[in-house]
Amino acid sequence: MTSQNDTQRQAAPGGFADLENRWFSAWEQAGCFSRSQGRGQQAAHPFTVVIPPPNITGVLHMGHALNDTIQDACVRRARMQGRPARWVLGTDHAGIATQTKVDKKLADEGVSRLAIGREAFIDECWKWRAQYGSTIVSQIKGMGCSCDYDDERFTLDEQYARAVRQVFADWYHDGLIYRGKRIVNWCPHCTTAIADDEAEYVEESGHLWHLRYPLAEPVDGRDYIVVATTRPETMLGDTGVAVSPSDEEKAALVGKSVVLPLVNRTIPIFSDWHVDAGFGTGFVKVTPAHDPNDWAMGERNGLERINVFDETAHVVEGYGRFSGMSRDEARQAIVEEFDRLGLLDKVEDHQHSVMTCYRCHTKLEPWESEQWFVAVEDLKARAAQVVEDGQIVFHPERWKTVYLDWLANLKDWCISRQLWWGHRIPMYYCDSCGYSDALVDHADVCPTCGEPLRQEEDVLDTWFSSQLWPFATMDWTERGASSPELQRAYPTQVLSTARDIMGLWVARMVMSSLYCTGQIPFQHVIIHPTVMGADGKPMSKSRGNGVDPLRLMEDYGADGMRFGLLMQVTGGQDLRFNEAKLESSRNFANKIRNAARFVGMHLDGFEPGAPEPITLADQWIMSRLARLVAQLDRLYEGFEFGEATRELYAFFWNEFCDWYIELSKSRLEPDADPADRLACQRNLMFVLDQAIRLLHPIMPFVTEEIYHDLPFDRSAFPLLIEAPWPDAQRLAGFVDSQAERAIELVCEAVSAVRSTRARYGISPREPLAVVVKASQDDCALLERQRSMISSMQNALSLELSPAAQKPAQAAAVLGSGIEVYIGLAGLVDFEAERARLQKERAKFEAEAQKLGRKLSNEGYLAKAAPQIIEKDRGRHADALDRIERIDAQLSEL
């Protein structure tokens, strides 16, 4: 649907793209997406959101679709409120991901990165970015997102890159960045370090090998100990054996030594509280260079650290026939050798988690390596404080605890990556005189001796550069904290993001912003739900349960997808994607069009003017509108988008369309009273105008179209995107609780009669006897609307009484504080109706049993496509619901 560099969706016959492209172009050409000037008192309150920069390797997925809808709704509403609004757009260079893509491209061409060299490879990366990097931005445009496209940023742009170098140099000179040897998560395929948070854990069925290590000298007649390990290949680097201090049986062995098999190395037995006496044999082999826990034990106990693998996880020289073997080959050969020597005690099956690279899915190797680190202790203390004291608020609130727990457990951050694509670490060395320093500007000559300088080969972790995103995109590089944009618009108001980068990105933005600007980067953090597949599992290609947002926009329109996604948000719970909700949203968009078309068709003689609630129905709809605006303001302030969509849906479809328009039809007839007709027209236009403004942040295209189709006064605001948001305070005078209760009672009484007619197949032309039992006050309200009720439900008679009794052969419908009885004598053949219902019940009972057997079949559930299973579950639930409703009717009969 979208070409690589196409900025608009392709229009299909009868599709949505034509309308969407037309209005998007209109907004763009009018400059609506740049920071607005604002108006009124709100002009002093800028509203800024920074987009979580998508990778240039990325394409739009359902998480993006939900998150971008949330951000756009916030920004569009703020713009309509008169706040100077801007949604900062940009993309991330995505170090590992992009390098992997370009590596593959070159390999397909028969070329390798190493063969062409660093500079040529970086040129290839820039070419790749030029060709593919704008794909996701084009797709974001297709959603209607009102980002500032004229000021798009990129994390490798020169101004941004300078900010990265500046922060590195500042932190280095402040002692917050250092170089050292520590255990890192190493990817042997990508040949780079990986952050702890970027490792993915995979359950694996493995083994627990019990290996005999001979004692250097017998102890109480004992010649060996048995260690249990899941990684026998690392035993080549063992430099100790640990036991628990609480294990009294092994106390006599502490201080003794074993002779490490195969390498003939004498290593000590020591005690350490890290050891679990109940795991395996209670003896733990310690390989400080290949396990973070072992590394810590080695540091506490002065053990030697020996790296037995190279950067591709092959055994290094010095280990005889094992040298040159891969990890897996070494494991097999070492176990076989232990078995041959009679030192393999036993092997047990063992289920455990292994870390894999989040990009290539290779098993990571805990590997001691010299890397660059950020000392986080002081930085994380301040980042925790601003959340604890409420300067930054999380939504939902429970994520505050998750954030603080992550910070509490944060260790020094490995920021170096052994890649070529990215921000090259700005450390410079002179091999002649030993000079070294972190420099913001590139230098070729040593300032001390004049000899050539050499720059660090490694690049920075992508998250190091992206942590600067909120302020580096606001000209901090040039002017620091005195940047006009920072002075005007910092901190930003809202960050909406996924939970899986709360530590990787959110916390680090807080740390760096506090250091660099002295301010928090944002006031509110929305952790949006994760969009799961219809089967309730995370969406993935391997599961086949993913959904393409581009296809959804083709089928349901961008408005339908946006509204339907938010409709499925319930609190902070992950949402199980239900495509039927999008169909409902598309129907809702059609309902909005049809309502606007009805109003437009009944504007003969219309003269613009203020709304005038003359009738009870007018007073009711104005009151409901006033309450809706106030409620939506509360929901937006609390970032409860799912509830906001449901409130909008209920008001527009149920109250405005189903009832107010229905109650207005007779007043719009050509022979109606002219004054009342004009008042009705003005009220309809006013409510419709206010409603489409409320709907616009979520459904921008259909609402903009209606705004231009109807005779609204657009002289001050030619486009709906900039029109004022409804004012809850100005509308508060329309609130009328008595009118609301009166119409609520009318609606319940009329609905009870209509549903009874539908249930029993009674013609609307057939007059019915209706009895309503309600409180004295409600009866009084209904009495004043007797003519309205009678005309709307074709009532033969209408009895209203607090003491009313259910007549014989009458249907009963319960409402909110009322009971409605509808006489059926002489209208329904009860025996025939009972027989019909029993026959219908049998049909649905058979269907429910059939589907129930199908859905309890594990084989079917394992093989069938998730969408088919979900459809069957829906049919099963529907059959059970029909049975329940038929049982209720049979009981009534």
Binding residue positions for ATP: 541
Q: What are phi and psi of 390, to 5 degrees?
A: 85, 10
Q: Please, is 348 exposed, middle or buried when counting C-beta atoms within 10 Å of its C-beta (0-12, 13-18, 19+)?
A: exposed
The DSSP bridge pattern shows strands 284-286 and 240-243 to be antiparallel
The CA distance from 778 to 542, in Å, is: 59
Which CA distances in Å does 839 have to 836, 845, 853? 5, 10, 22
Q: How far apart are the first and last CA of the chain?
A: 56
Residues 429 and 452: beta-carbon distance below 8 Å: no
Residues 588 and 104: beta-carbon distance below 8 Å: no
User: 767: which 2 tokens?
Assistant: 């007059």
Residues 585 and 567: beta-carbon distance below 8 Å: yes
Q: What residues have CB less than 8 Å from 209, skipping those under 6 apart? A: 228, 229, 230, 232, 335, 338, 344, 347
- Backbone φ/ψ region at 152: left (φ over 0), alpha (ψ -120 to 50), beta: beta
Which CA distances in Å does 454 have to 191, 429, 431? 22, 5, 8
Cross-strand bridge partners of residue 179: 372
Q: What residues have CB less than 8 Å from 629, skipping those under 6 apart? A: 690, 694, 726, 727, 728, 731
The DSSP bridge pattern shows strands 192-194 and 177-187 to be antiparallel
Which CA distances in Å does 223 have to 214, 253, 340, 450, 786? 6, 11, 18, 64, 102
* Angle at the Cα of 203 from the Cα atoms of 201 and 204, rounded to 5 degrees: 125
841-853: b (≥16 Cβ within 10 Å) or e = beebeebbeebee
The CA distance from 844 to 887, in Å, is: 12
Residues 502 and 402: beta-carbon distance below 8 Å: yes
* Angle at the Cα of 760 from the Cα atoms of 755 and 761, rounded to 5 degrees: 95
Residues 616 and 739: beta-carbon distance below 8 Å: yes
User: 555: which 2 tokens?
Assistant: 């089928």
- Enumerate the H helices of 568-657 as residue ranges: 579-601, 616-637, 641-649
User: 255: which 2 tokens?
Assistant: 């201080």
The length of the chain is 893
- Taking Cα atoms as reference points, which of 854, 867, 884 lies closest to residue 580? 867
Element (H or E) spanning 694, and its range? helix 674-695
Q: Which amino acid is at 877?
A: A
Q: What is the DSSP string of 779-812?
A: HHHHHTTHHHHHHHHTEEEEEEETT--PPTTEEE
Binding-site residues from annotation = 541
The CA distance from 46 to 36, in Å, is: 9
Cross-strand bridge partners of residue 50: 88
Count of helix runs (H) and strand runs (E) in the chain: 30, 29
Element (H or E) spanning 75, and its range? helix 62-80
User: 134: which 2 tokens?
Assistant: 């704008």
